[in-house]
Structure 1
């Protein structure tokens, strides 16, 4: 949907002088500074897939907000390209650019920017006014958007009657009313209280599940990034430090800067079952003989075994006790003695949602794919190890 290559922005210099400074040597920041400018964004490249919630994360001055404003040319790039759905945004005419901003890309900012003298419904409808749409149609579209953000019965209220979180819902409804392909959200929840902020994150995730929009979300909060992002791009001093999924970044920080960030993150939200699972070390097929499976179980020193169908799905669990009874009763297949004594989660389930489920069965927690195939298991010890954030320092010995 969006492809960014070599995106660069210099402030404080005419474009010609800025480009010459960029081309003078390897240390572009020093060259730009010597010429009297500021290198705000330096050679940033990334792509965003349709329906992806892509997070750009960094502290103040990292360049993240400048990057998203170059995507729809609210800020003109000094160098590099931005392509939207295969079309070069830099080469768009004024009319094409208006079309992009009015119909295909909507923005939600940290500050609500609502009109105090207009009702909530009129605020939500405002983005449609430039399209020449009738007032009735605009208001009808606004009502749909307000319903999507949980404000269906408050359209006649005024912004002054709303809390910060509710005003931000109106801002989100205004963006949704235009039915854009892409939502660009610049620190939209950073001014909200923690509980309201969490509720808005939940609202956004629910909307994303229902509507499947492509979203670029800017934040300085790694916990927020981990909670909502499909992928996260970490920026510092105008450059990309690391790009990956939340579990990738937590498990393999690119440098000390990222390591400092992840040391304080809520790992139970950032890590998933897929990131902490291991291969199933002991399974049995449904048509195996109970005696054979019991012999292997004793060697493995286990108390139970996952019994798998030929298509890879879980039939159930066989315990040592059930296998012994099956042998005594002359059963010829393990499928005759399985029980439903296990719990399964998807590989995308956060640790916070399944850690209480581990350790309660004779087999480890099962991890399954979208087709219910067993792809891994999560022993309780793995969960406890993953949650631990402190690392032990080995003392130096003389």
Structure 2
């Protein structure tokens, strides 16, 4: 871990009022916040009608272990304070079931916390020994006036609104919970950043089969912690279903404790959205704009001493069949731009490494389409086999910078 990250961790602990259990904190799980959209947007939020006075339990799988945990709660896009009356953590198994007692999570020594508008709050440490791959559950009881303005839409994990011990409602979004940290140092911290392919759309719910999940399981025994900063509908240059990569990479990647490398797969929505129902009046994307965006990310990465590994964009001909997007999401012109960008990514010396996801996932008989065994069925997002194949081509040698 870089010395500045360790110093920051100590300072945060001191400010929180919690005892210092370790000089280093390592990300073990993450879900990038995004603003809750209004009901007129094409997709439902997956949130309950109200969180005020509710208890919401959110199971998750840790990518890294430790003896003590801290959680970060987000009100990044809130315009009003968010009251949380209590937070609890426990070892979890399937669904809403718990494997052990719930332990209270404190904030500056107190069980309740109010998160100011636009802020994130990190808890005091909780003694709960865990290992990589461990399932835990975080339960948040919101104050009666709480309003969800900040969430992570595509959780790929079912959450539960509880009425006592009874499940009152199941939800498909993350609420407030942005990260889990552990006190075990890692040899390397990697952040996977991108759009829905990284976020896991197309991967089965509740099974941890996104490509960053496969990568985390493979690399944890080698001392590497991998967390997922994907946002479905994300874009490089413009806001989509969340802020653009350029707008959020400081928060969601460079501010991650101990970060060493980013694996970035982005650009599909920058190319595909213009002229589609998502952005019907937007001008077509250009290669020059995409190159400028990647160059900007590369410069930021170098300023933070973080390795930038970029992925080529997989093909998506025929994407989203039987939906209003089918006719305009893909075109021959958009595919030509995707290929031009991929060719440039393979040659540029602006980045520190390349993962050729395009070559891995494309149909050998039609390079404008996903290979059917790797397709989730929507001709855009990889399924389980595709996600595993993506993870398999990311080597530790590449991540550490020992080869390009």
TM > 0.5 = no
Q: Give the TM bin, normalised by the shorter chain.
A: under 0.3
**Relative contact order, CA 8 A, sep 6+: which one is greater?**
2
Provide TM-score, normalisation by structure 2: 0.26
